[in-house]
């Protein structure tokens, strides 16, 4: 009896060790997407009135949890019955990541004029503000859904050869980190300027530490979001390149004498810009066809 209990405890301990090790591997693999997820959501959660930032962020967070509840069971079913489909989805996700990274680089080099609709502009009624807010929350949840698919599939790809129990635990942990961790950090980021304003407001002396800290927080917010965007873009290219290098033999043997991180970045960048050229070409051809039919 006692030996049976100890055997069960040994199995549980071994499972926990495997889960901890595989969770670390999966976290490293998904770090790029998590960074991009963080940058995207920090940008989408900003621009609201101060009193609405946290309620809006909570609404997006609930949407993110719902996204995970939809995606996780489908991913586990694929892993159990169609494991080869995970690799295919992983490569398709890599194409999307590479395209997204290349598009961001292109946008940085050749910026397009665009404006973000502000919810604090004067002249908007409460109903108009709530309507705009609702639309932006929906857009943020859709973006989260796409990124969540990428995170779950990449995490699943790292444990696809493990037993189903380990897969479920590891991928669920990563999914929870992707929601709780990312949106928790986003909440801190978007409140940086508000905390800074309060420090400035309650500072009695012009050169006091609290006033300097408050000014720093206010000025740092847009720079932090910008830095996250740049880091996230680089990480997207690396993650995409890593997917291609480790799952496609042609890319794996392409540059054997060069460090893998450089190979992954080069491959991700090249594939990304090829995808960008194809997408832009399709859009232009579609535009020409529409004008012809008018």
Q: Percent of the chain scored above 90 by pLDDT?
A: 7
Q: How far apart are CA 122 and CA 104, in angstroms?
A: 32
Examine residue 168 and state whether it is found in any structural domain, yes or no: yes
Other beta carbons within 10 angstroms of residue 157's beta carbon come to 24
Do the beta carbons of residue 220 and residue 190 sit within 8 Å? Answer: no
Q: Which of 58-62, 69-73, 205-209 has the least mean pLDDT? A: 205-209
pLDDT of 230 strictly over 90: no
pLDDT of 126 strictly over 50: yes
Q: How far apart are CA 214 and CA 198, in angstroms?
A: 7
Confidence of residue 245 (pLDDT cuts 50, 70, 90): confident
In the prediction, which pLDDT does 273 show? 95
Examine residue 11 and state whether it is found in any structural domain, yes or no: no
Examine residue 245 and state whether it is found in any structural domain, yes or no: yes
Question: What does the mean pLDDT of the chain come to?
Answer: 77
Longest Cα–Cα distance of the chain, Å, equals 81
- The helix (H) or strand (E) run that includes residue 51 is none
Domain carrying residue 208: 17-293
Give mean pLDDT, residues 8-16.
46
Q: Which of 47-56, 71-80, 142-151 has the least mean pLDDT? A: 47-56
Token duo for residue 147: 């990124």
Q: How far apart are CA 41 and CA 173, in angstroms?
A: 20
Q: What is the number of structural domains in the chain? A: 1
Examine residue 4 and state whether it is found in any structural domain, yes or no: no
């Amino acid at each position: 009896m006692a030996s049976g209990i100890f055997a069960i405890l040994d199995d549980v301990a071994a499972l926990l060790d495997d889960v901890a090790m595989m969770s670390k591997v999966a976290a490293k693999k998904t770090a790029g997407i998590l960074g991009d997820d963080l940058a995207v959501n920090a940008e989408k959660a900003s621009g609201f009135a101060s009193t609405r930032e946290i309620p809006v962020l909570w609404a997006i967070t609930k949407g993110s949890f719902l996204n995970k509840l939809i995606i996780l069971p489908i991913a586990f079913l694929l892993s159990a019955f169609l494991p080869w489909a995970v690799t295919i989805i992983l490569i398709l996700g890599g194409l999307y990541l590479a395209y997204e990274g290349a598009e961001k680089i292109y946008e940085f080099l050749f910026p397009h004029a665009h404006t973000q609709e502000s919810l604090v502009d004067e002249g908007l009624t409460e109903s108009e503000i709530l309507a705009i807010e609702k639309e932006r929350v929906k857009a943020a949840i859709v973006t989260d859904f796409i990124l969540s698919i990428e995170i779950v599939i990449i995490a699943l790809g790292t444990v696809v050869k493990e037993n189903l129990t380990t897969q479920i635990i590891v991928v669920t942990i990563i999914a929870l980190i992707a929601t709780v961790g990312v949106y928790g950090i986003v909440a801190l980021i978007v409140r940086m300027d508000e905390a800074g304003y309060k420090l400035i407001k309650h500072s009695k002396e012009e050169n006091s530490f609290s006033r300097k800290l408050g000014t720093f927080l206010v000025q740092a917010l847009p720079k932090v979001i910008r830095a996250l965007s740049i880091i996230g873009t680089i990480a997207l290219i690396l993650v995409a390149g890593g997917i291609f290098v480790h799952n496609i033999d042609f890319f794996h043997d392409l540059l054997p004498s060069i460090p893998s991180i450089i190979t992954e970045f080069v491959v991700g960048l090249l594939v990304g810009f090829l995808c960008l050229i194809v997408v832009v070409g399709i859009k232009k051809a579609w535009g020409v066809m529409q004008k012809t039919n008018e």
